[in-house]
Amino acid sequence: MHLDVFRRELADHRRSLIGCAVGAVLLGSMYIFFYPTIKSSGAGVEQLLNAMPKGFRDAFIGAGVDYLSPSGYLGTELFSIIVPTLLLVMGVLAGGRALAGEEQNGTIDLLLSTPIRRARLTVEKAGGALLPVFVVAAAIWVVIAVIGPSQGLSVSLGRLAVAVLAVALLGAGFGMLAFLVSSATGSAGLGGGSAAALAVAMYALNIFGSLVPALTGFANAVSPFHWDGGSGALANGVAWSGLLLLIACPIVLLGLSIAAYERRDLAA
């Protein structure tokens, strides 16, 4: 029993992992190669952005961030919506299916007739389902680190690594929520759906937090989309408190998943 379930799960995601990694690299390259053009149009873009309400501007570009700076541009274009969405969808789809999929496909009887502990199965399934999220995040780091400087996009590679890690943890966190709900109920759809719904709600809360001062404190405390630094992650860095919360959530959710799965009657 040398991580066989983990490796099997990872192998099941081979195609989607390759697809997502290639997509992320192409998308990242596209934005990188757009940068010189956008920057040369300079003042016009700034004017347009300054016409936005301050709350929107802060939400999409980051408080006090210069859009045309390398970290402002990458933060806005990649880290505010596109990369979080990609990693979140990967995490939620894989997390929802990993364990509940075996139950819905009817293969769980075969798998759990072998002498493997349910807790171990849970951990290996979660790991195999969510590792691809971190692999794609790493691919994004590589493409920015390698191609970025040639187009004038030089950012701190350490800060970039933290920002990419934070977004990956965001995707993995919602993936683990999907995993928890689906392994507790046996329904991949319910798990994925509830995690996706909560992600949308949290994203909206983060935007409202930027727009409505009365909501800011609450939204910043509750929404993972604030914890990861959002579009300001490259310019302003990711706060330790946010990073710790992003690390803690998947771990707590994994613990809950183990407890929920341990004594459940599995559907035939």
Partner 1 sequence: MASSLAIVLEGLTKDYGATRALDGVDLELRAGEIFGYLGSNGAGKTTTIRCLLGLIRPTAGRATVLGLDVEDDSIEVRRRSGYLPGDLRLYPRLTARQLLDYLGRLRGGVPLARVEELARRLECDLGMRCGAMSHGNRQKVGIIQALMHDPAVLILDEPTATLDPLMQRIVHDLIREARDRGTTVFVSSHDLPEVARLCDRAGILRQGRIVAVQDVSELAQQGRHMLTIEFLEPVEPEVFERIPGVSHVTASDQTLTITASGDLDAVVKAAARFRVHALRSAEVDLDEVFRDYYRSGTADAP
Beta carbon of residue 191, minimum distance to partner 1 (angstroms, whole number): 20
Number of residues that bind partner 1 (CB under 8 A): 23
What are the Cα distances from residue 60, in Å, to 120, 170, 179, 226? Answer: 41, 17, 29, 12
Going by the DSSP 8-state scheme, the letter that residue 151 receives in this structure is G
Q: Is 116 or 190 the residue whose CB approaches partner 1 more closely?
A: 116
Beta carbon of residue 8, minimum distance to partner 1 (angstroms, whole number): 6
Q: How far apart are the first and last CA of the chain?
A: 25
Beta carbon of residue 189, minimum distance to partner 1 (angstroms, whole number): 18
Q: Interface mask (CB under 8 A) for partner 1, residues 8-37, using x and -?
A: x---x-------------------------
Q: Is 119 or 135 the residue whose CB approaches partner 1 more closely?
A: 119
Q: Is 12 or 66 the residue whose CB approaches partner 1 more closely?
A: 12
Within 188-217, the residues that bind partner 1 by CB under 8 A are none
What are the Cα distances from residue 138, in Å, to 32, 84, 115, 178? Answer: 16, 13, 35, 23
Q: Is 7 or 54 the residue whose CB approaches partner 1 more closely?
A: 7
Q: Is 8 or 54 the residue whose CB approaches partner 1 more closely?
A: 8
Beta carbon of residue 6, minimum distance to partner 1 (angstroms, whole number): 12
Beta carbon of residue 242, minimum distance to partner 1 (angstroms, whole number): 39
Half-sphere exposure of 242 (CA within 13 A, CB side): 23
Beta carbon of residue 14, minimum distance to partner 1 (angstroms, whole number): 10
The reply to whether 47 sits near partner 1 by the rule CB under 8 A is no
Within 82-121, the residues that bind partner 1 by CB under 8 A are 105-117
Which phi-psi region, left, alpha or beta, contains residue 177 (left: φ > 0; alpha: ψ -120 to 50)?
alpha
Within 229-268, the residues that bind partner 1 by CB under 8 A are 263, 265-266, 268
Alpha carbons 110 and 99: distance in angstroms, whole number: 13
Beta carbon of residue 4, minimum distance to partner 1 (angstroms, whole number): 5
Q: Is 115 or 213 the residue whose CB approaches partner 1 more closely?
A: 115
Helices (H), the chain: 4-12, 14-40, 42-50, 54-61, 70-74, 83-98, 100-105, 108-111, 118-147, 157-185, 188-211, 213-222, 224-227, 233-236, 240-262
Q: What is the CA radius of gyration of the chain?
A: 20
3-state secondary structure of 35: helix
Instruction: Note the residues at the interface with partner 1 (CB under 8 A).
Output: 1-2, 4-5, 8, 12, 105-117, 263, 265-266, 268
